[in-house]
Structure 1
Amino acid sequence: MSRPPSRRRRLSPRYLVAAVVAVALAAAAWVWWRGAAERGDESPWRTVQVERGDIRVAISATGTLSAISTVTVGSQISGQVTEVLVDFNSQVRQGDVLARIDPRTYEAQIEQGAAQIASARASLAQAQATLRNAELDYRRKADLGGRQLVSRADVDLARAALDQARAQVAATQAQIRQQNASTETARVNFERTVITSPVDGVVLTRTIEPGQTVAASLQAPELFTIAEDLSKMKIELAVDEADIGQVKPGQPVSFTADAFPDRQFRGVVDQVRLAATTTNNVVTYPVVVSVDNSDNTLLPGLTVNAEIEVSNRSDVLKVSNAALRYKPVGDTAAPQAGGGRGGAAMLGELERVAGELDLDQAQRAAFDAALAAQRQRAEAARQSGGQRGPGGGQGGPPPGMMIRMGQGGGDAGMQAQMRQRMLERMQESFAGFTRTLNPEQRARWDAALVSALGATRVTLYKLVDGAPQPVQVRVGASDGTSTEVRGGVEAGDVIITGERARR
């Protein structure tokens, strides 16, 4: 009896494939829908926030380590080296014997000079005896001549003999002095056969061996090089002309050497030398950095990579450099220095500086009066429609004259003239106030005035309620990534750096 067919049937592979495809399409649709929703909410601006932090500005340069004082020891005489008492890296003290040269030649010269001096002294004794005889003969003949007992010619001959005897004595005495000097020269050369160290230090190089002949003719041959006190060393850095204006003595320097890759060393700028060097049309200036090497780790001749810290600003407002470069389409405004729209900001900066000068009541009143007068002139100039500086009228540049920096800026010479003109007018406007300051306060005020007039101001675009709002700030130090800003921004403000591509 046969079994009835089962009602359960297996699913066809075609249905399985269709189900998988349907699930995949649904997932893709969901991902696309979510991305579209996110894109719809995405801001059209690329932004960064104003942050508070530190900015360190450093100049990179390479150089070579060397001893602060290196002495080359040579030989002033010629001869054969008989003995060398030091080697490379030998520690020596002043007066220590380094080498000896065969002294026999100079010993013989000293003996020869002594003999010549003895001979000259014997000649002197003979000349003195002849002189005494000539003096007696002249006296006798002069007495007889006075009594008309001898002829006048005999008296003259006696006088001439006396003069000759005196001249012979003088010549012999000069010969003795000459022989003494010659013998002293031989004695000095004899002492120079012993080469001694002129300083305390360490021997860096030695160029002679026992038995070698030293020939000192027009130039003293170099025998040893001694580095004096390697506990203090120096680096000679080659700094580019574009950066040399920022380098000042006393600035800290950090550097590394390939010989010690895991260590960082420190030094201080000691000197900025004026002897410029031009190589392949690149002008560099030597900067000397003093280094403490009390642990004797560093070695002379090492090549180092150094960074000179020219500025270190702590706890300042900073923003990405991309924000400084952003300009909306159609905005061609260039960064400004001193005048223009930055006048109010500059006066605010001067007011801040005045608040740090510990002014008394009379000084504060003088400053407030000068500041109010300056602002009135600026307001009058603004209402008249002229583009004037912070002084307006007599305190800023003439109408239409705007100092600009960067792209689109004017001639550098004109910019310098405008700054100088504005400085003179601002000094005139605040002359009554500055006369009330003591020397220290006046120095700080003058420095702040120069800094404010020379400062560069740029326009940033702050994102407020989804729309860009221009604000002008004064820029300061930059480390290549971020730049210090002061003015109409605070920490946390959102600054536009660019626009997103529309889809």
Structure 2
Amino acid sequence: MNLPSPLARLRAIPWKNPLVLAAVGGVVLIAAVVLFFLFRPGGLVSGGEAYEYLQAGRAPMRVTLREGAIIQPEHRLNVTPPIAGRIDSVAVLNGDLVKQGQILGWISSTNRAALMDAARAAGGKEIAFWDDVFKPAPLIAPLDGRIISTAVVPGQVVQAAQAVFTMSDHLIVQSNVDETDLKSVWVGQEVEITFDSFPDMVLKGTVHDIAYDATIVNNVTTYLVNIFLTETPTLIRSGVSANVFLIVSDRKDVLQVPTDALTPENEVLVVPGKGETPILRKIEVGATNGQFTEVVSGLDEGDWIARRAFALQRAKKGGFSFLAPGGKKKDQDKDKDKKK
């Protein structure tokens, strides 16, 4: 079977048909517009490269250090009975706040438990007599705090060294900070804390102390940082995972440019004038929050800079945009006319 050649297929197209002529004309027009915007002087592509034009400006800048963390009691204390015996009653629940000296429960010694069992078996006045003569021992809270764990129930036999309650004085946030980030952490530093389990909750706190002794795990050196909460909601529990944002700096009027407009050598493409090709200029930079970088010197507020196409594509996270800078350049000219 002989197939027609490509040239023969082209000849077979009814070129005089108005619909065919309209379709071809539309394709040609679109191609012409795209080429015009790509390669016109001062357009999207200058010297074979694509740019986005923007101005250096002033805005607030907050620099934070993010670390993983966990909620833990600052001091965890096990309450043990003064004697071996049997638990008579428990007077508190998990989560209760208690005061130092408060009775948490009662325990009968081994001898009292045996006598009370015999009195109950005998019945009558024996129970009241031995209950009055042989008193149970109280389980007393050694400090102010919260009951975070109860390990016994009434009737359970325990030993003198066995933990029956676990208390904590108050909950704190503990974070292991890498040694390379330690320069950005100090006592009294303000901190914001968020939780994966409670996405809408943001707590505030301050750094209380930084460990002097390092912890080394898998050849990574970290230091334990304890953070005290300004307020501890009842939702927070010991062992809850958290994210801490240590506020390194928080300023309101900072001259800055997008970080992805800078080269690794801290150079930026400066636009000298309308329709001119951007030129590299080295600037002095300061703090950065990742998205924006502070300009210490080398640029003034309102200076126009250009961002290369690869940075533009990365900033927009996919998809190329035909961004015509003509409007922005006109605004730049208007600003210059106003200054004049």
What's 2:65 paired with?
59
Task: Verify: 1:207 aligned to 2:151, yes or no.
Answer: yes
What's 2:248 paired with?
310
1:105 Cα deviation (Å)?
A: 5.3
Task: Verify: 1:196 aligned to 2:137, yes or no.
Answer: no
CA distance, structure 2, for counterparts of residue 100 and residue 241 of structure 1? 49
Q: Deviations over 1:17-65 (max 9, x none)?
A: 7121112222222222233322231242524432221222211112222
CA distance, structure 1, for counterparts of residue 305 and residue 149 of structure 2? 61
1:469 Cα deviation (Å)?
A: 4.2
CA distance, structure 2, for counterparts of residue 30 and residue 86 of structure 1? 82
What's 2:165 paired with?
224
CA distance, structure 1, for counterparts of residue 81 and residue 189 of structure 2? 41
TM-score normalized by the length of structure 1: 0.48
Q: Deviations over 1:85-113 (max 9, x none)?
A: 3332344322222233334759xxxxxxx
Aligned length: 268
Q: Deviations over 1:109-145 (max 9, x none)?
A: xxxxxxxxxxxxxxxxxxxxxxxxxxxxxxxxxxxxx
Change (3 A) 1:100 1:495: same
CA distance, structure 1, for counterparts of residue 269 and residue 197 of structure 2? 48
CA distance, structure 2, for counterparts of residue 90 and residue 35 of structure 1? 71
1:98 match: secondary structure: strand
What's 1:463 paired with?
271
1:222 match: secondary structure: coil
CA distance, structure 1, for counterparts of residue 268 and residue 35 of structure 2? 31
Change (3 A) 1:19 1:469: closer
Question: What is the aligned counterpart of 1:261 among 187, 191, 199?
Answer: 199
What's 1:375 paired with?
none
1:246 Cα deviation (Å)?
A: 0.7
What's 2:329 paired with?
none
Kindly provide the amino acid, as one letter, of the partner of residue 34 in structure 2.
G
Gaps of 5+ in 2: 1-12, 113-133, 311-340
Question: What is the aligned counterpart of 2:300 among 483, 490, 500?
Answer: 490
1:194 Cα deviation (Å)?
A: 2.5
Q: Deviations over 1:304-353 (max 9, x none)?
A: 12211112232111112233216xxxxxxxx5xxxxxxxxxxxxxxxxxx
CA distance, structure 1, for counterparts of residue 180 and residue 269 of structure 2? 31
Gaps of 5+ in 1: 1-13, 107-189, 327-334, 336-457
2:71 match: secondary structure: strand
1:470 Cα deviation (Å)?
A: 4.5
1:262 Cα deviation (Å)?
A: 1.9
Q: Deviations over 1:360-409 (max 9, x none)?
A: xxxxxxxxxxxxxxxxxxxxxxxxxxxxxxxxxxxxxxxxxxxxxxxxxx
Change (3 A) 1:101 1:17: same
1:247 Cα deviation (Å)?
A: 0.9
Question: What is the aligned counterpart of 2:262 among 315, 320, 324?
Answer: 324
1:196 Cα deviation (Å)?
A: 0.8
Sequence identity (%): 28
Change (3 A) 1:307 1:281: same
1:487 Cα deviation (Å)?
A: 1.2
2:100 match: secondary structure: coil
Task: Verify: 1:77 aligned to 2:77, yes or no.
Answer: no
1:72 match: secondary structure: strand
Cα RMSD (Å): 3.0
CA distance, structure 1, for counterparts of residue 69 and residue 135 of structure 2? 41
2:201 match: secondary structure: strand
| Structure with more helix by fraction | 1
1:215 Cα deviation (Å)?
A: 2.6
Q: Contact 1:206 / 1:223 at 8 angstroms: preserved in 2?
A: yes
1:15 Cα deviation (Å)?
A: 7.4
Change (3 A) 1:191 1:323: farther
Determine which structure has more spread, i.e. the larger CA radius of gyration.
Answer: 1
Question: What is the aligned counterpart of 1:272 among 210, 221, 244?
Answer: 210
What's 1:160 paired with?
none
2:271 match: secondary structure: strand
Change (3 A) 1:85 1:490: same
Q: Deviations over 1:397-450 (max 9, x none)?
A: xxxxxxxxxxxxxxxxxxxxxxxxxxxxxxxxxxxxxxxxxxxxxxxxxxxxxx
1:261 match: secondary structure: coil
CA distance, structure 1, for counterparts of residue 90 and residue 23 of structure 2? 91
1:234 Cα deviation (Å)?
A: 1.2
Q: Contact 1:57 / 1:309 at 8 angstroms: preserved in 2?
A: yes
CA distance, structure 2, for counterparts of residue 322 and residue 294 of structure 1? 39
TM-score normalized by the length of structure 2: 0.69
CA distance, structure 1, for counterparts of residue 173 and residue 186 of structure 2? 15
What's 1:18 paired with?
17
CA distance, structure 1, for counterparts of residue 277 and residue 29 of structure 2? 32
Change (3 A) 1:468 1:78: same
1:295 Cα deviation (Å)?
A: 4.8
1:275 Cα deviation (Å)?
A: 2.9
